[in-house]
Amino acid sequence: MKNFDSLFIGLMLFSMFFGAGNLIFPPFLGALSGAAFWMAMAGFILTAVGLPFIVLLAISLAKGGVDAIASRVHPLFSTVFMVVIYLSIGPFLAIPRNASVAFEMGVMPFSNESWNSTLVLFLYTAVFFLLVYIVSLNPARMEKFMGRWITPVLLLSVVALCTVALVNLDAAQLAPAGGYESGAFFKGFLEGYNTMDALAALAFGIVILTAIQKKGVRDEKQLSRHTLKAALVAGTLLTLVYVSLGLMGGKMAANGTYENGTAILSSASSLLFGKAGTAFIGFIFTLACFTTVVGLTTACGQYFSNLLPKASYKTVVIAVTLVGFTLSNLGLSQILKVSVPFLVTAYPLTIVLITLSFFNRYFKNPRKIYGSAMLFTGVFAALGGLSAFGLELGALQSLRNILPFASVGMEWVVPALAGTAIGMLLSNTGKQEPAAADQLDAKAS
């Protein structure tokens, strides 16, 4: 496998990660964080770039991938957890979110009162998902199609927008607002959840490994090495784009008040490029959302066709595109209502699970430790999700509030540590379990 192959696979991985949320959230963070921008962006990058990188690292080092890691809790947990993750980052949440954002940014700015928006959305998503289906049918060609063609165009477009904005916009940083007045780092850390990239990394791992294997790589150490190269390419590009978009958002803050990052990007494009700017930003959003939906559809196709032997890859891709198409027509606002509560619940579980995987070799009875840690984490992560959904928790809310880090939305940290400690104590009371086939071995050191 040549170095250029790792580069192009890294570009493909970047395009799979870089979707609607990756465009929307950094400029809004920049506008609100103001003088606290760098602290906020550091927290954002930690969860939006660092955590996905760590997930890919764990998957590349584990024999059996993410399924094997989750099986250390329990085989049933592994199946349920991964099915929920794939459905959420796939047809039930991330896929329709990206398709809806592509429509909102690529079509709606050109609409008028005579349009039937429901019909236009139906026709747009029909064409969008037909193209997704066609491209997703051949995963072997994804690296060439996305890594060599679409991603360079997408990158150049984003670079052009950010460069023109940073050169031409001149405004002093405003005072932090919107929750960034104190604890900007932790606020940015939580905002990084919204990209969904750490969850997507759980799914994209199989796509990247498959792409590398198609190049003739079979040795496990070589697979890990090339996976990390691709992840470094994608992570570096994501970091540069996030910082640039965030700085642009900070400069735009002096020009008005914005409800979200979409409004900032639309205003910036119009201000800098005139009427053509509306089409330009719509083009960027369409490319970004399309590549992410293709990546997620492919990942779901590979996972569920392996999980359900009677379901072919083509059958799963058809099902994913049809469900994504149907839910996209519900509208973006309905989709976003579900996303935040789910992410608040899923991210702590993912963080703890992946963190434990790096210490697996030192555990005497891994299942007790994993099980206890995930139980304690899951309870408080679920409470956080219910609270984000707007439910009144009564006494449970009071319990959450007294925990350390509750003020920054990370009350699950101490329960996770307590669950791990209890699991370690319990593990010392029984016989040592046989080393699992998926255990991280000496190559991880």
d(CA 240, CA 379): 36
Comparing 207 with 130, the larger pLDDT belongs to: 130
Model pLDDT, residue 432? 59
**CB neighbours of 230 closer than 8 A, spacing ≥ 6?**
6, 9, 10, 12, 13, 208, 212
d(CA 191, CA 407): 15
Extract long-range pairs of 115-124: CB within 8 Å, 24+ residues apart.
118/329, 121/328, 121/329, 121/331, 122/329
**What is the residue-averaged pLDDT of the chain?**
85
pLDDT band at 437 (very low <50, low <70, confident <90, very high): very low
Q: What is the pLDDT of residues 352-375, one digit of tens each?
A: 999 999 898 888 888 999 999 999
pLDDT band at 320 (very low <50, low <70, confident <90, very high): very high
Number of H helices, E strands in the chain: 20, 0
Comparing 107 with 388, the larger pLDDT belongs to: 107
Model pLDDT, residue 13? 87
pTM over 0.85: no
Amino acid of residue 372: S
Helix, strand, coil share of the chain (percent; to 5): 80, 0, 20
Only one residue has tokens 């206890």, namely 372
Sorted by where each begins, the domain ranges of the chain are: 3-333, 359-445
d(CA 82, CA 203): 9
pLDDT band at 334 (very low <50, low <70, confident <90, very high): low
Model pLDDT, residue 144? 67
User: Which parts of 134-191 are beta strand (E)?
Assistant: none
Domain 3-333: assigned CATH number? 1.10.4160.10
Residue 62 tokens read as 């584990």
d(CA 132, CA 142): 11
Model pLDDT, residue 439? 44
Residue 271 tokens read as 């201000």
Model pLDDT, residue 353? 92
Residue 233 tokens read as 């390419």
Tell which residue, 303, 7, 271, has the closest CA to residue 144: 7
Comparing 262 with 420, the larger pLDDT belongs to: 420
Given a cut of 70, is residue 333 above it in pLDDT?
A: no
Extract long-range pairs of 80-86: CB within 8 Å, 24+ residues apart.
81/349, 82/202, 82/303, 83/307, 84/346, 85/199, 85/202, 85/203, 85/346, 85/350, 86/203, 86/299, 86/300, 86/303, 86/304
To the nearest 10 degrees (0 to 180), the angle between helices 94-106 and 313-328 is: 50
Residue 97 tokens read as 């979110």
d(CA 336, CA 355): 28
Q: What is the pLDDT of residues 54-89, one digit of tens each?
A: 988 888 887 777 888 899 999 999 998 888 888 888
Region 314-331 average pLDDT: 91
Let me know: does 41 contact 246? Beta carbons within 8 Å.
Answer: yes
pLDDT band at 112 (very low <50, low <70, confident <90, very high): confident
Tell which residue, 145, 154, 142, has the closest CA to residue 212: 142
